[in-house]
Structure 1
Amino acid sequence: MADNKMLKTAGEHWVASTLALHGWAPALTRDGIERTDILAVHVAEARTAIEVQVKTSSDGRNVDGGRGVFMLGRKGLLPSQSLHEWFVLVVLARPTPERPAPEPPAAYVVPRDHASAGFWIVHQRWLTDPSVPAGRRNTPATHGRVTADVFASYRDRWDLLSVPTPEVPVLLPEWVQAAQRDQRFGLPPGHPWHTAA
């Protein structure tokens, strides 16, 4: 448990420092605000304010060779409540005796509604996958997992943060975008893309 808390702390602090390098003034919330780990204001762009939830993964290998596995949980599937809610999914490579100075983290900067759609669709696809053995397809979406490659086109897209999230182009893989229109997969309850379709 302590190890996971340290990983979470490392991810949040790394995101906060990276935001600062991109002109954002970040403040860690210390669990004081639900669904938000960092509040930040851009000092040069009309003082735009954003809410960021950080999810951190480490697979013990290198960032590019590893896959980075994330779980959003129940609250991660809820729709945005503002025009500036983001996930930053971070893959950290842990130091090892053989590699005491691992490569820099990988970051996927994803609007909350894009992340929840991606997580939901990946999980629903798994639930309907006939190759999954019978009796194994009973994990609820709140415990579903997704690999970072689903969000590959969002990697290092810090430039998107000043754009209201409904205006951000959907960069999910084409198969995920097609699956949202498939009745077997759909979208999470209350997702704003239901009304946009």
Structure 2
Amino acid sequence: MAVDTKQTKTIGEHYACSMLARHDWAPALTRDGLARTDILAVQTTGQRHTIEVQVKSIRGTSPTASWPLGPNSQSRAEHDREWFIFVAIDHNPLGPMRTFIVPRNHVAAATWIEHMHWLTEPGIPAGTRNTGIERARTSLATFSGYEDRWDLLLNSADEAPVLLPPAFRTYALEARVGLPSGHPWTGRLPEW
């Protein structure tokens, strides 16, 4: 039976809202059609920061499960309070949900690095892999360091530690992979 993608989206967005509320944020779902933002949330304690959140949801929780991330999802942040919440929904309705809280600029870099490494991986015959970056997918394993990191939302996304797999930094330094054009890490790749 085919998965209803609208239901998957609904589950993820509402779960993200409930978890934000549990972490002292007042979330509000935006109207469909607002690019890059599914949820606006204001901190109910402290400095009352506001954040913009884009939610991506998938069915499945294995390390190889992956989210499709098109051009809008790969764009760099316009300010320091833009986040993604990735939701992995267990196939068993009673199973646990998994969440990954990732700054938008980390998503842009990770998607590029993972896709370009896959596309140009040494030992793979040229032309075997030819899917363009606009159809990239990013695996759950890529964001495992960000699992349940709700604490990151308390500060600027620009100050968040990079929790990507260590190999991604090595790939980003290679000419065959690099970083997307105009990415803020170009020329000053952070340590991780």
Report if aligned partners of 2:30, 2:37 keep a CA contact under 8 Å in 1: yes
Identical aligned pairs, as a percentage? 44
Question: Could you list the per-position Cα deviations for residues 145-189 of structure 1 after superposition, in whole angstroms to 9, with x for gaps in the alignment?
Answer: 121111111000000002101111111111002211111111112
Q: Which runs of 5+ in 2 are unaligned?
A: none
Counterpart amino acid of 1:44?
A: T
Name the structure 2 match of 1:191.
183
The answer to whether 1:174 aligns with 2:166 is yes
Shift of 1:102: 2.8
SS in 2 for 1:27: strand
| CA displacement, residues 115-152 of structure 1 (integer Å, 9 cap, x when unaligned) | 11111101001111245455332111110112111111
1:139 counterpart residue number? 131
SS state of the match for residue 30, structure 1?
A: coil
Contact 2:63 2:139 in 1 (8 A): no
TM-score by length of 1: 0.89
Aligned residue pairs: how many? 188
Do 2:40 and 2:53's aligned partners in 1 also have CA atoms closer than 8 Å? yes
Is 2:88 the counterpart of 1:91?
yes
User: What is aligned with 1:40?
Assistant: 41
Identify which range, 128-137 or 117-126, moves more after superposition: 128-137
One of 72, 89, 103 as aligned partner of 1:111: 103
Instruction: Please name the residue that 1:73 is paired with.
Output: 70
Farther-moved stretch of structure 1 (125-134 vs 160-169): 125-134
Superposed CA RMSD: 1.7
Q: Deviations over 1:94-114 (max 9, x none)?
A: 23xxxxx43221011000010
CA contact (8 A) 2:111 2:138 kept: yes
2:25 alignment partner AA: W
Q: How far off its partner does 1:67 sit?
A: 3.2
Contact kept? 1:78, 1:190, Cα under 8 Å: no
Q: Which of 139, 143, 146 does residue 151 from structure 1 map onto? A: 143
Task: In structure 1, list runs of 5 or more residues that go unmatched.
Answer: 96-100
Task: Give 1:20 deviation, angstroms.
Answer: 0.3
1:55 aligns to what?
56
Shift of the alpha carbon at 1:195?
4.5
